[in-house]
């Protein structure tokens, strides 16, 4: 279960380049799609969840998101990558998460005190594993086929807000978002002021509106 909101931070110059260099270390072309999306500029900002402070996700360019997103693709992690940190002169563990045609995020112990050496990336012990989104699986039966076609499983996660258990569905303006409970009641959740507002609108209509923000 996740905390309420994600903090947004500026994308550091080394972040997209490191992901490209890591993916280029693998001999096959399985990751070319992701490399091209980064080179096109799909990654705009970094987001940090308060419950997972060493795991960093991204805000995407909406136009490029529509170009590269593959909703039916499974989520994977590539783990046990080692990257040399020029700041402390040590190799550090690096984990990369991919899925739905997107670079979903990465994990490093201390982002603020890390600067990678792109020539010293070790994938000799790395391996990939599938990641199941249990939160999405818990509620997917609530949605019509048309709704499922719009939702990105990666965006769905469970939160506890004002003693309510609400599943985040998609972001709207200014860091606010739309969510549902297990009865498919639809809510707008805002952070300034912090409110949970029950809505009388459909997910389809709200999703359409969200595309204009």
**Which tokens in the block code for residue 1?**
């279960």
CA distance readout (Å), 128 to 77, 79, 102, 131, 176: 5, 6, 16, 10, 33
pLDDT score for 1? 40
Helix boundaries (H) for 55-144? 62-68, 134-139
d(CA 56, CA 162): 26
Whether the predicted model's global pTM rises above the 0.75 cut: no
| pLDDT per residue as tens, the chain (213 positions) | 444 556 778 999 999 999 999 999 998 778 999 999 999 999 999 988 766 678 999 989 989 998 999 877 888 999 999 999 999 999 999 999 999 899 999 999 999 999 999 999 999 999 999 887 788 889 999 999 999 988 888 788 888 887 889 999 988 877 789 999 999 999 999 877 788 999 999 999 898 887 765
Say whether 141 sits in a helix, a strand or coil: helix
pLDDT score for 130? 87
- b/e sequence 172-189, b meaning 16+ C-beta within 10 Å: beebbbbbbeeeeebbbb
pLDDT score for 3? 46
Phi and psi, residue 28, nearest 5°: -80, 180
> Cα 42 from chain centroid?
12
d(CA 209, CA 178): 11
d(CA 27, CA 25): 6
d(CA 78, CA 96): 5
pLDDT score for 16? 97
pLDDT score for 213? 56
């Amino acid at each position: 279960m996740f905390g309420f909101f994600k903090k947004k931070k500026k994308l550091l110059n080394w972040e997209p380049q490191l992901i490209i260099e890591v993916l280029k270390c693998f001999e096959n072309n399985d990751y070319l799609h992701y490399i091209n999306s980064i080179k096109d500029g799909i990654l705009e900002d970094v987001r940090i969840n308060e419950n997972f402070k060493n795991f960093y996700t991204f805000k995407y360019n909406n136009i490029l998101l529509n170009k590269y997103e593959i909703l039916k693709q499974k989520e994977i992690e590539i783990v046990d990558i080692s990257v040399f940190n020029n700041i402390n002169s040590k190799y550090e563990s690096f984990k990369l998460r991919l899925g739905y045609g997107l670079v979903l995020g990465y994990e490093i112990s201390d982002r603020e005190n890390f600067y990678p050496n792109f020539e010293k990336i070790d994938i000799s012990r790395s391996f990939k594993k599938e990641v199941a989104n249990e939160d999405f699986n818990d509620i997917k039966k609530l949605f019509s086929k048309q709704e499922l076609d719009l939702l990105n499983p990666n965006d769905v996660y469970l939160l506890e807000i004002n003693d309510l258990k609400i599943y985040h569905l998609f972001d709207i303006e200014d860091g606010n978002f739309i969510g549902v409970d297990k009865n498919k009641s639809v809510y707008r959740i805002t952070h300034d002021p912090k409110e949970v507002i029950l809505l009388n609108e459909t997910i389809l209509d709200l999703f359409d509106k969200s595309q204009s923000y």
